Amino acid sequence: MHNQTPFFINVNGQLMDLSQPKVMGILNVTPDSFYAGSRSETEKDIITRLYQIVNEGASIIDIGAYSSRPNAEYVSTEEEMSRLRTGLQLIRNHCPNAIVSVDTFRADVAKMCVEEYGVAIVNDIAAGNLDEHMFATIAQLGIPYIIMHMKGTPQTMQDQPHYNNLFKEVFYYFSEKVQKLRDLGVKDIILDPGFGFGKTLEHNYELMNHLEEFSLFELPLLVGVSRKSMIYKLLDISSEEALNGTTVLNTIALMKGAHILRVHDVKAAVEAVRIVEKMKACTAF
């Protein structure tokens, strides 16, 4: 079992200890997320989902207003900001102490969320590739930044993704991004291998099988496999039926060194963390 490297990230001036893995609950303020169970459109829906995420034990709320599923609808910057403002205001009113991460690839959206609503982390599926100002903005904001590996864009990523060498390409991608961010003075960088983003079913399982190799970067690792097609296509079920498969993969990810699990089902992930942590504590004797 992979031993957890101690990592601390600075969230709103407090150090968050990632040596015990954290669960990030997904709050979609979108009408078109791939998993219907996670869509929250009305204020009542958002508040219900918010309390569910917090009460089930998530350490971070990841709010997103632009679905990144394959062939997702285009959303304008104004529309994305408007949806996020609604969600962030509700978080402020109902869970003012929550640590919030915003799932966006647009620099001006990230800036608005951090400066107007005190969002603590930016989660960028494009790692700066869809907005040339993102890296400089993150450096200016001085907050933790999650960079994900994606081949292409959400619209094109599943058009027969091909790699000559999956690991070499993903590692090269990250080493180049990390270097650029370090040069700009960004301190807290979190890596997300990007399960399901420009990858075939085989690519996804190959990544999971070698997940511990990401420890080479000496950076925290986020894993997001919740109810994705790598589970439901393999098992020939729907995303609604993919919770058990999600828990299996989350458990494997934890045993291979994941620091953050990004999930729809917080309670199940928190239980997986507790069980794996208990096992690790027992191997320490």
- Say which CATH superfamily domain 8-283 falls into: Dihydropteroate synthase-like (3.20.20.20)
Orientation angle between helical segments 77-94 and 107-117, nearest 10 degrees: 20
- Sheet with 145-148, side-by-side order of all strands: 189-192, 145-148, 121-124, 100-103, 60-64, 22-28, 260-263, 222-223
Give the mean model confidence (pLDDT) for residues 40-68. Answer: 92
pLDDT for position 262: 98
Q: What is the DSSP letter of 29?
A: -
pLDDT digits (tens, 9 = 90+) for 179-231: 999 999 999 999 999 999 999 999 999 999 999 999 999 999 999 999 999 99
Instruction: Share the mean pLDDT of the chain.
Output: 93
pLDDT for position 35: 52
Task: Say yes or no to pLDDT of 3 above 90.
Answer: no
In the residue annotation, 262 being an active-site residue is answered as yes
Distance CA 284, CA 278 (A): 10
Q: Please give the model's pTM, rounded to 2 decimal places.
A: 0.94
pLDDT digits (tens, 9 = 90+) for 129-167: 999 999 999 999 999 999 999 988 777 877 878 999 999
The b-or-e profile of 164-198 (16+ CB within 10 A means b, else e) is eebeeebbebbeebbeebeeeebebbbbbbbbbbb
Q: What is the DSSP letter of 265?
A: -
Distance CA 142, CA 230 (A): 34
Could you say which of 22, 262, 274, 280 is catalytic? 262
Distance CA 120, CA 61 (A): 10
pLDDT digits (tens, 9 = 90+) for 231-272: 999 999 999 999 999 999 999 999 999 999 999 999 999 999
Could you say which of 228, 233, 256, 274 is catalytic? 228
- Burial, 281: exposed, middle or buried (Cβ in 10 Å; 0-12, 13-18, 19+)? exposed
In the residue annotation, 199 being an active-site residue is answered as no
pLDDT digits (tens, 9 = 90+) for 70-102: 667 788 999 999 999 999 999 999 999 999 999
